Amino acid sequence: MLSVKEINERVISMIYLDNSATTKPHPYVVSSYIKVNEQFYGNPSSIHTFGEKASSLFQKAKQQCKELSGMSDSSIIFTSGGTESNNLAIKGTAYSLQHKGKHLITTAIEHPSVLEVFKGLEEEGFEVTYLSVGQSGEISLDDLKAALRKDTILVSIMYVNNEIGSVQPITEAGHIIKSLSNARFHSDAVQAYGKLTTDFNTLDLVTLSAHKFNGLKGSGLLAVRKDLKLTPEIRGGGQQDGIRSGTVNTAGAVSLAKAMRLASEHQPKAYETLLDCQRLLREFFYNREEVKMISTENAAPHILSVTVPKLTGEVVVHALAKKDVFITTSSACSSKTNKKSHVLTACGLSDRDIRGAVRISLGTDQTLNEIKQFIRIWQEVIPPLLKGV
């Protein structure tokens, strides 16, 4: 068994490049969570002064999240994370508007917490159009126009794809949806916030998850335009405007607001850092015979997907892990299964390229020195695996 000292030394020396799976919590976020739990642990629904203090903190966090998301005219529903927020957004909208129509639109490369919800709604009698993507992983706006109908009540398009980093034309899509239909527009923006400049102005519902931008796991939110009423998923005491019952997680809300503020403040500088790191990686991989690029030049700066066709992604991941370098095969939500990536399949990659695919995802505090070390270790570890293959 490793000693505490050995564990700490290993953590310090490791190169973590799986930030799209989860990020390291910021110390200020952790301290805010601890402080609220230690000093303001009263139930915000209680009428005594101790409960009122907790309620005040919760309401302040909600207001901060409205402002930081750029959706000041929305309601903020705090959830357990991206999966719950996506479920609430899609099912809550579909059920509340089904009297106006039962046609829904999404894309073929959404996160499972979106795709599986749409599949479930199909079983309940809703009709779903799945927009295809090109090799770059981007939808066609003409396809979106053609898919919209009078009975379309919801469109859900992710902001940034979690496997290949493709960025969808959210603003343009929003204008099309508003001009050609009465449908509501939702975006899973989990991989976008804090990494690139986001524009949520044309959206009705936005999903965010704290642990994707140096917050804590188990904290997320759904921003909902005030004129949209959702059918609740969780019923009970009527907390959070009756949309998400249950004793509210004050510490989670406060720490989420803290993580959003830090991400927002550091985003411009972080974007440039991410671009520099990705440029270095791209220059390296372009000159490697064993590697083929998957992510295009237009992809988000923090996600780079490549494939080593002569190997499997698992072999590459495990070989690098032995050197304390951590990447993954695709989405962390599916990397432990034998399922072929639906994203890479939709982009038209061959089975061989899909089997060899790996994802390198950067953190906003990544350094060029770490990327240089990664390159050195790749050169040391991967070529020997190809001998005799």
List 167's β-bridge partners, or say none: 160
Crossing angle of the two packed helices 368-386 and 313-321, in degrees rounded to 10: 120
| Three-state secondary-structure class, residue 217 | coil
pLDDT at residue 338, rounded to an integer: 63
Residue carrying the six token digits 């044309």: 202
Residue 52 has φ and ψ, to the nearest 5°, of -65, -30
292: closest CA among 336, 354, 340?
A: 354
| CA–CA gap between residue 135 and residue 101 (Å, rounded) | 32
pLDDT at residue 13, rounded to an integer: 81
pLDDT at residue 10, rounded to an integer: 53
pLDDT tens string 209-237: 999 999 999 999 999 999 999 999 999 99
| CA–CA gap between residue 238 and residue 25 (Å, rounded) | 31
222: closest CA among 77, 345, 378, 112?
A: 77
Q: What is the mean pLDDT of residues 70-83?
A: 94
Under 8 Å between Cβ of 196 and 216? no
358: closest CA among 321, 304, 282, 286?
A: 304
Under 8 Å between Cβ of 159 and 192? yes
pLDDT tens string 24-44: 999 999 999 999 999 999 999
pLDDT tens string 187-201: 999 999 999 999 999
Query: Quick check: 144 pLDDT over 50?
Result: yes
Name the pLDDT band for 387 (thresholds 50, 70, 90). Answer: confident
| Three-state secondary-structure class, residue 141 | helix
| CA–CA gap between residue 336 and residue 333 (Å, rounded) | 8
pLDDT at residue 361, rounded to an integer: 98
pLDDT tens string 285-325: 998 999 999 999 999 999 999 999 999 999 999 999 999 99
Contacts of 388 (CB under 8 A, 6+ apart): none
Q: Is 94 exposed, middle or buried (0-12, 13-18, 19+ CB in 10 A)?
A: buried
Name the pLDDT band for 12 (thresholds 50, 70, 90). Answer: low
| Three-state secondary-structure class, residue 234 | strand
Contacts of 8 (CB under 8 A, 6+ apart): none
Structure tokens at 79: 């959830």
Amino acid type, 207: T
| CA–CA gap between residue 20 and residue 90 (Å, rounded) | 23
Kind of pairing, strands 303-307 and 292-293?
antiparallel
Domains recognised in the chain with CATH numbers: 4-25+267-386 (3.90.1150.10), 27-262 (3.40.640.10)
Under 8 Å between Cβ of 224 and 194? no
137: closest CA among 303, 20, 17?
A: 303
Region for 81 from its dihedrals, namely left if φ exceeds 0, alpha if ψ lies in -120 to 50, beta otherwise: left
DSSP state at residue 160: B
Q: In percent, how much of the chain has pLDDT > 90? A: 92
pLDDT at residue 73, rounded to an integer: 87
| Three-state secondary-structure class, residue 48 | coil
Sheet holding 292-293, edge to edge: 292-293, 303-307, 357-361
Q: Which of 64-78, 269-283, 333-347 has the lowest mean pLDDT?
A: 333-347
pLDDT at residue 349, rounded to an integer: 95
Mean pLDDT score of the chain: 94
Q: Which of 3-12, 164-173, 257-266 has the lowest mean pLDDT?
A: 3-12
Name the pLDDT band for 5 (thresholds 50, 70, 90). Answer: very low
Under 8 Å between Cβ of 132 and 157? no
Q: What is the mean pLDDT of residues 7-29?
A: 85
pLDDT at residue 72, rounded to an integer: 83
Structure tokens at 186: 């939702």
**Residues labelled catalytic:** 333
* Residue ranges of E strands in the chain: 15-16, 74-79, 103-107, 127-131, 152-156, 184-188, 205-209, 220-225, 292-293, 303-307, 325-326, 357-361
pLDDT at residue 7, rounded to an integer: 45
Contacts of 259 (CB under 8 A, 6+ apart): 25, 26, 29, 210, 213, 214, 215, 216
Name the pLDDT band for 330 (thresholds 50, 70, 90). Answer: confident
